[in-house]
Amino acid sequence: MNSAWRVASWIVLPAAVAALQACSTTVSTTSGPITEAPREARPAGADPSEDVARRARVRMELAAAYFGRGQLDVALDESKLALAADPNLGAAHNLRGLIFASKGEDGLAEESFRRALQINSHDLDAMQNFGWYLCQRKRYAEAEAQFSQALATPQNREIPRTLLAQGVCQAISGQLDAAERTLTRANELDPANPSTSVNLAEVLLRRGEYERARFHIRRVNNVPAMVSAQTLWLAARIESKLGNQTGVQELGRQLRDRFGDSREAAAFARGQFNE
């Protein structure tokens, strides 16, 4: 799924990743058919509520798996079945919010996120996903409130992820000073996260702090598995600002050789370093 709120060369977490993180179930990401787990006979005397909960979890697994594959209509159907089994399953409402947002059905998306938070006002995943959604719709103050609430929740064990989302949203809204502070804190807490390093490098580039930007993007590009057209293009733009034409040409060669069909390679060929 495309990141609808990606602006210019911002590097952000794909929405599908946020969706899968939002679900407490295990999902399949294989290219083969997705099938429901075989039904098990309920032992005599078993609690019927346990069977209902199991069926709801199975449907959630299927919904999340289909969503991860971009099969939105099927994912929506499965989420409906999960809620039919358990109408108060907050994770299903959260996932429905992401599905509806991906389908452009904003009213239903917002209703779903709010329902998830009504069920559990401390649902960190719902707060963060609702924040991403609001940021996409340029409702920056509301998005900031969601991220701040998530950060203030005592049981938040994924503060770096929340900070990354908040920092990118601040950057998109033009609050570069705040974005630098937020992303720097996220990087301090989780220095191995390449998404944080890339976004921080982008912010520093836009603020004219080229040497610091170079440091962070080099940390990413020095790991072969993390190199992408976006990271090479960002590095080329930074080297251009630093006047390192040899470095610019080397990065351009890598872009052409490895990602020749990318829009970043096309932008390099056009010399669009300042856009």
pLDDT digits (tens, 9 = 90+) for 199-210: 999 999 999 999
| The Cα angle at residue 225 between residues 222 and 231, in degrees rounded to 5 | 60
* Residue-averaged pLDDT of the chain: 85
Cα dihedral sign, 190-21-206-247: positive
Residue 52: what pLDDT? Answer: 82
Contact (CB, 8 A) for 237 and 198? no
Q: 124-136 and 15-22 are packed helices; what angle lies between their axes, rounded to 10 degrees? A: 160
Report the CATH fold assignment for 157-212.
Answer: 1.25.40
Residue 46: what pLDDT? Answer: 44
Residue keyed to tokens 């996120």: 113
Mean pLDDT over residues 177-204, rounded? 97
Q: Is the pLDDT of residue 123 over 90?
A: yes
Q: Is the pLDDT of residue 37 over 80?
A: no
Please state, for a pLDDT cut of 90, what percent of the chain lies above it.
77
Residue 50: what pLDDT? Answer: 72
**Does pTM top 0.85 for this prediction?**
no
Mean pLDDT over residues 85-105, rounded? 95
- Give the contacts of 237 (CB within 8 A, at least 6 positions apart): 9, 205, 273
Rounded Cα distance, 176 and 168, in Å:
9
Rounded Cα distance, 225 and 213, in Å:
20
Residue 48: what pLDDT? Answer: 56
| CATH 1.25.40.10 boundaries in the chain | 1-29+49-146
Rounded Cα distance, 272 and 99, in Å:
35
CATH of domain 1-29+49-146: 1.25.40.10
Rounded Cα distance, 18 and 179, in Å:
20
Residue 51: what pLDDT? Answer: 79
